[in-house]
Amino acid sequence: MKKRKILCAMLICASTLWAETALEIIRRVDERQHSATSEQKMLMRVYPSLASDTGVREFRISSVSRSDDESFMVFEEPRTIKGMKILSRGDDRWVHFPSTGRVRKIVGESKKQSVQGVGGDFSYEDLGGGTLEEDYRTRLLEESESFFIIEGIPVDSDSAYSRLVFEIEKESYRTLKIQYHTEKEGHLKDLFFRDYTVMGGKEIARSMEMINRHRERRTEVLILESRFDGPVDEKLFNPTRFYR
Amino acid sequence: MDILKKTGRLLTVQIIRRKWWIIGVAVLLVLLSLFFSQRIIIRTQLKDLLPESNRRVQSYTRITELFTTSSIILSFEGDDRAEIIQAARDTREYIENDPGIAAFITAIQLELPDDFIEHWGLYMQKSDDIRRSRSLFSRLNLLPFLRALNDNFESSYTGDSAEEEILTNQDEGEMVGIMSNMERAMLLLRDYLENPDTASSAKKAEELAAIFAIGDTYSFDAEGSMLLMTLVPSFSISDYDSLLSMMPEFRRVFHEIRRRHPGLRIGYTGDLTREFDEQAALSFDLLVPGLIALLLILILFVFSFQQVRAVLLALVSLLVGIILDVGIIGVTLGELNILTTSFAVILIGLGIDFAIHLVSNFTDFRSRGMPEEEALAETFRKAGVSVLIGGITTAIAFFMLMFSDSRAISQFGFIAGCGILTCLASTLILLPALLLAFGARQQRASRRYIIDYSFLGSLGRFCQKQRIPVLAAVVIITAICAFSAAGNRVEYNIENLTVTDSPSSITEDRIREGFNLSPQASMTTAASIEEARSLSEALKQEFLVARVASVADFIPSPVESRQRLKELSLFRNNPPSYQQEYRYDHARLEDLVYEIQRLEWNMIEIGDLSVTNLGEENLILKKRNSMIREIFGAEVGRPGREVFQHLIESLESEQENSMRLLERLDADFAPAMLNLIRPMMQTERPMEIEDIPESYRLELISPEGGHFLVSIQPTKAVANEAEFMNFDRRMKEINPAITGTVQMAIDWTREMVTESRRASVYVFTAIMVLLLLTFRRVVPALISAVFLIISLIIMFGIFPLLGIRLNLMSVLALPMIIGMGIDYAVHIIHRYMLEGDIGTSMTWSGKAVLLSGVTTGFGFGSLALFGSMAAISSFGGALFIGVMVCLVLTITLLPAVSGFPGLLRRRQSQHNQELTT
């Protein structure tokens, strides 16, 4: 009986230690990537087919983000939608069409949907703010000399994903890859982070590539400029003023 | 070799004694062959060319047995929609009542039948759309309807809680259809306001109501300038007799239709007409390049030989050889395919070689004063053996192809192999008989210019003397070509290999551009409607899929059907209404103007959103730009038709008049809307198979009802090589049973590449064995083998440099060049081993080899230049390059090799004989 109690105590300590390690890693990741505000210029290329460049769509976008779920973006290219602005606040989105001068409140909710279509294989959930610690229950799956492999189960039951798997570089706590899994499709997408560079005082992955394995398409995002934790214009997050 | 010589002597004696008998038998055989040739038909279907065990062929065959997948598509193009529709309706009526063509046509698809729309128009929408339709059609007066329409657009696409996204090609097509309807509605309104007396307001109101309530029941392109009509035949594409009977009737009817509607551009396409066009092209390729090659050969011979009569007799014997082969085809196979229709030109190019050697030697010996019979005997002695060996090696090369699993290649091997033997027999037996019977008795010096081929002797001596530089040059060129050969690519897209300028192809191109569709449809079957639905849904998500058609388009799932019926019952409980005598004052006119402006904004914004999902080249944006204007953010580009602004101008220019006309229109419009919607609301039961319009039922459901067709049309992007292969791969991943032109073309090309390699190994092995038996020494056989390998490397190195891509026909050049190219080397090596002097060998045999190579080049070159099918012309081109490379190496490399003492020494027996003599 006594031996059994000791064994249980050891197991509880070990599991606590294990959970802490995964959590600690995720916290370190959050620390290095979290910012109160960010301003970025990016180039996004959506490849409808992995096999070739047929039908590739290229967008040049400027974006401003603050807190976890507020973002503003404006299209600079292609020419047809130059000046189109999108404001996201929580689950609500507004679009300003420079072609008509109107502001419309667009897609109300679905996180699964591609970012106003533009995001290609990036959904709102993928780009959403929030910390990994808050959004996922984590567990360390594997540890090698160079990497941590961490599983994250979304806390939100409405999440489009059943689990995520993070590949994190040990030395620097850079995220190198995220696998996205769903109940229906299984291993659905891979997000690769490449070319880590210091921009705006923060080290970020200059290049990201999301590959949709199910639909055999991919989206590339190249960060051209970046600034973090600077002051942002309040007007940009006001639905009645963001387009002026 | 002794056996061959004895046979040659025996043959000479018999020919001399029985020349007239030989000629008589030849005439008889020719007549018989021409009789049997009438049985030959030309087949161009891919499925006939692949092995029957091919899974996709099996799937395709099963589908064509169950469904009428063939069709003829008529396209009507013009500027006036009404005129286009009228022409199509006239055509339908004409075809249905013409006894000549009606028997071949089961159904005509032009528009969805009115009675079908009346019963099922609303039911065919998704339950969400029916729910939106309830609010859309709640108030049917024009102004409230337009307001509801705008609300609907904004809730669906551009406004509060918008639910829809334009993600797939099908979504794109549907939105273009909606925008086209809006354009038609605006144009109709404007026409009514500006020309109120051209038609009654009731008629205009009915037309307007039909646009809003039903939409477009015709298959127009995005611009509304091309309409398609499909004729469903009563026979399958495999029924050649019916096809051959139908086409003349169809052509007659088609010409009559064009005569009746001169203001429109009317075209036809579809797999039936394509099949017919390809047959016509192949018939052309069977005859015309051959005739051109014969003419060129005749001209060359006239300037190469003193005796014109001998030349003509040589051509006669060649023709006899080819006709005998045609007779063999008629008796045995009874058919030709895309590969074997080129046999005549190949035989002209190859078969003439035998006659060249014979005539060349015979006329040379005659020119030295030898009597005919002695000249003939000497010809057989000096050239007969090499002609026979050359012919047999070439025939073996072709017969080896018969071991292929591909019926097409196997048939080609049989036909070409038999043809070589018939031409050989004709040359060795009939030609000497003809020369003895009809040849010139006396040698007269000709005043005509005769090409002097003695330069070949000089060239041979030069190359022998400069053997090191010549060999070095060959090595360097071979190395460069070996490197270049790695860049060879295979063309899989069958569209790039067929006829491109036939009426079917031209119409196909126009449809491709107008509808963003590739004509290369794929298909599969499902065992249930649910399976068809599941497949369709998966396929519609694909980037390369433009359209999917299946029974699931008509019959929803049971759950969805219940929801739709529920929405319809809610509709019945809260039916549409309208206000009688709806008055238009200035305020309402202003409101109407505002709603039209709002509608324009919605169209503009939908266009903007389409760019985010589909890119700037999408059809929605193009439609928007053409019907409104080109817009770049806040800037304006090229003007469009400004359908909304022009209507607004018309409304505002004479406001009093506009108000009065609107009242009159509204009085008929609202009741017309109700008349259209009320029957559609009455649907109380799910749609069943019997409710589907007959023409669609025949197309999508097997006669016994157990199989359901899923038809897939890719976008025009599959014209790109990478996307072509990607389409095949994606279809295979979704359902391995999906079959069609794309899939079979890829399989066939892969098959041909594999078979070509395999046949090459067989041919090469067989030829090496034969050469060892012939030369009875390893070194000459080895030299021949090296010569061949170098020729092939250079040939395949040239292709990428000239931008030539290998395809399902040109890959066959490999085994054929192995079989043909070796001939030239054999002649020179054999002659050199007899004569011991390269100058003499090149002078006497070189002339024959050069003429042989050039005439073969004429044959293949005429295919390359005049072949109407790209596959045939590429086949000719590849062979032409191969033959020319072999020829050049024969007259340069072999003399250089002969410069190394001991390599090609004279035969000991020959040498001893000369010593004793």
Q: Which of B584, B597, B580 is nearest to B662 (CA)?
A: B584
Residue A55 and residue B617: Cβ atoms within 8 Å? yes
Residue A9 in any domain: the answer is no
| pLDDT of amino acid B914 | 43
**Interatomic CA distance for residues A187 and A184, integer angstroms:** 9
Mean pLDDT value across residues B865-888 = 87
Q: Residue B159 pLDDT more than 90? A: no
- CB interface of A with B, residues 23-82, below 8 Å: 48-52, 54-57, 59, 78-82
More reliable by pLDDT, B312 or A209: A209
What is the CATH classification number for the domain harbouring A137? 2.50.20.10
Residues 6+ positions from B489 with CB-CB distance below 8 Å: B800, B805, B806
**What's the pLDDT band for B913 if we cut at 50, 70, 90?**
very low
**Interatomic CA distance for residues B570 and B565, integer angstroms:** 9
| pLDDT of amino acid B687 | 94
Weakest mean pLDDT among A209-213, A229-233, B159-163, B329-333: B159-163
Contact (Cβ atoms closer than 8 angstroms) between residue B491 and residue B753: no
DSSP string computed for B788-853: HHHHHHHHHHHHHHTT--B-TTGGGHHHHHHHHHHHHHHHHHHHHHHH--HHHHHHHHHHHHHHHH
Residue A99 and residue B633: Cβ atoms within 8 Å? yes
Q: How far from A17 is each of A11, A146, A148, A188, B587, CA to CA, in Å?
A: 10, 20, 16, 31, 75
Residue A106 and residue B159: Cβ atoms within 8 Å? yes
Contact (Cβ atoms closer than 8 angstroms) between residue A192 and residue A24: no
Mean pLDDT value across residues A192-218 = 92
**Interatomic CA distance for residues B532 and B552, integer angstroms:** 6
Q: Residue A164 pLDDT more than 50? A: yes
DSSP string computed for B510-545: HHHHHHT--S--EEEEESSHHHHHHHHHHHHT-TTE
| Chain A residues in contact with B726 (beta carbon < 8 A) | 49-52, 216
Contact (Cβ atoms closer than 8 angstroms) between residue B809 and residue B497: yes
Chain B nearest C-alpha distance from A241 (Å): 18
Rg for chain A, CA atoms, rounded: 20
Q: Could you tell me how many residues make up chain B?
A: 917
Q: Which of B91-95, B402-406, B499-503 has the highest mean pLDDT?
A: B91-95
| Chain A residues in contact with B617 (beta carbon < 8 A) | 55
**Interatomic CA distance for residues B296 and B310, integer angstroms:** 16
Residues 6+ positions from B176 with CB-CB distance below 8 Å: B222, B619, B620, B623
Q: How far from B173 is each of A69, B84, B177, B225, CA to CA, in Å?
A: 35, 21, 6, 15
**Interatomic CA distance for residues B542 and B530, integer angstroms:** 19
pLDDT, tens only, A9-28:
555 555 444 444 888 899 88
| pLDDT of amino acid B207 | 94
Place of tokens 């266009």: B607
Contact (Cβ atoms closer than 8 angstroms) between residue B595 and residue B147: yes
**Interatomic CA distance for residues B783 and B775, integer angstroms:** 11
**Interatomic CA distance for residues B350 and B348, integer angstroms:** 6
pLDDT, tens only, B467-489:
999 999 999 999 999 999 999 98
More reliable by pLDDT, B394 or A167: A167
Token reading at B437: 């019977």
Mean pLDDT value across residues B555-575 = 95
| pLDDT of amino acid B401 | 81
Residues 6+ positions from A220 with CB-CB distance below 8 Å: A44, A45, A47, A207, A208, A209
- CB interface of A with B, residues 72-101, below 8 Å: 78-84, 95, 97-100
**Interatomic CA distance for residues B328 and B306, integer angstroms:** 35
Beta bridge partners of residue B229, listed in sequence order: B74
SS3 content of chain A, % helix, strand, coil (to 5): 20, 45, 35
Which residue type sits at B65? E
Q: Which of A5-19, A119-133, A192-206 has the highest mean pLDDT?
A: A192-206
Chain A nearest C-alpha distance from B233 (Å): 36
More reliable by pLDDT, B861 or B570: B570
**Interatomic CA distance for residues B615 and A80, integer angstroms:** 10
pLDDT, tens only, A82-95:
999 989 887 788 88
Q: Quick one: B25 exposed, middle or buried, by C-beta within 10 A (0-12, 13-18, 19+)? A: middle
Residues 6+ positions from B530 with CB-CB distance below 8 Å: B557
Residue B543 and residue A52: Cβ atoms within 8 Å? no
**Interatomic CA distance for residues B545 and B518, integer angstroms:** 9
**What torsion, rounded to 10 degrees, do the Cα atoms B902, B908, B913, B917 define?**
40
Residue A16 in any domain: the answer is no
Q: Residue B52 pLDDT more than 50? A: yes
What is the tally of structural domains in chain A?
1
Chain mean pLDDT for chain B: 87
DSSP 3-state of B630? strand
Residue B723 and residue A54: Cβ atoms within 8 Å? yes
Q: Could you tell me how many residues make up chain A?
A: 244
Contact (Cβ atoms closer than 8 angstroms) between residue B765 and residue B798: no
Token reading at B664: 């009159």
This model's pTM is above 0.90: no
Residue A31 in any domain: the answer is yes
| Parallel, antiparallel or unpaired: strands B41-43 and B335-337 | parallel
* Backbone phi and psi for residue B652, each to the nearest 5 degrees, phi listed first: -90, -15
**What's the pLDDT band for B910 if we cut at 50, 70, 90?**
very low
| pLDDT of amino acid B915 | 43
Weakest mean pLDDT among A198-202, B5-9, B203-207, B531-535: B5-9
Mean pLDDT value across residues B289-317 = 80
Residue A132 in any domain: the answer is yes
**Interatomic CA distance for residues B130 and A237, integer angstroms:** 37
Residue A71 in any domain: the answer is yes
| Parallel, antiparallel or unpaired: strands B522-526 and B739-740 | antiparallel
DSSP string computed for B430-467: IHHHHHHHHS-SS-----S----TTHHHHHHHHHHHTH
**What's the pLDDT band for A1 if we cut at 50, 70, 90?**
low
**Interatomic CA distance for residues A114 and B170, integer angstroms:** 18
Q: How far from B56 is each of B35, B60, B237, B518, CA to CA, in Å?
A: 37, 6, 17, 20
pLDDT, tens only, B529-548:
999 999 999 999 888 999 99
pLDDT, tens only, B166-180:
677 888 888 999 999
Q: Residue B306 pLDDT more than 80? A: no
Token reading at B182: 């809006």
Contact (Cβ atoms closer than 8 angstroms) between residue B520 and residue B715: no
pLDDT, tens only, B415-435:
999 999 999 999 999 998 998
- Provide, rounded to the nearest whole percent, the portion of chain A with pLDDT above 70: 84
Residue A1 in any domain: the answer is no
Token reading at B818: 């192995």
Task: Tell me the angle at which helices B169-194 and B201-213 cross, rounded to the nearest 10 degrees.
Answer: 170
Residue A242 in any domain: the answer is no
Q: Which helix (H) or strand (E) holds B742?
A: helix B741-775
Catalogue the E-assigned strands of B295-343: 335-337
Contact (Cβ atoms closer than 8 angstroms) between residue B634 and residue A74: no
Q: Residue B224 pLDDT more than 60? A: yes
Q: Which of B857, B833, B860 is nearest to B845 (CA)?
A: B833
Mean pLDDT value across residues B568-575 = 94
Q: Which of A174, A196, A187, A222 is nearest to A40 (CA)?
A: A222
Per the structure, the complete domain to which residue A75 belongs is given by 24-237
CA-based end-to-end distance of chain A: 74
Residues 6+ positions from B836 with CB-CB distance below 8 Å: B906, B911
| Chain B residues in contact with A61 (beta carbon < 8 A) | none
| Chain B residues in contact with A215 (beta carbon < 8 A) | 541, 543
Q: Which of B51, B52, B93, B95 is nearest to B72 (CA)?
A: B95
Distance of CA B141 to the CA centre of its chain: 53
Q: Which of A102-111, B267-276, B358-367 has the highest mean pLDDT?
A: B267-276
**Interatomic CA distance for residues B420 and B426, integer angstroms:** 10
Q: Residue B911 pLDDT more than 60? A: no
Token reading at B192: 């009514």
Q: For chain B, say whether A186 makes contact (Cβ under 8 Å).
A: no
Residue A99 and residue B730: Cβ atoms within 8 Å? no
**Interatomic CA distance for residues B107 and B88, integer angstroms:** 14
| Chain A residues in contact with B613 (beta carbon < 8 A) | 114, 117-118
**Interatomic CA distance for residues B837 and B23, integer angstroms:** 38
Residue A14 in any domain: the answer is no
pLDDT, tens only, B718-732:
888 888 888 999 999
Q: Residue A206 pLDDT more than 60? A: yes
Chain A nearest C-alpha distance from B73 (Å): 28
Q: Residue B917 pLDDT more than 50? A: no
Q: For chain A, say whether B158 makes contact (Cβ under 8 Å).
A: yes
Q: Backbone dihedral region of B257: left (phi > 0), alpha (psi from -120 to 50 degrees) or beta?
A: alpha
Q: Residue B699 pLDDT more than 90? A: no
Residue A80 and residue B621: Cβ atoms within 8 Å? yes
Q: Which helix (H) or strand (E) holds B904?
A: none
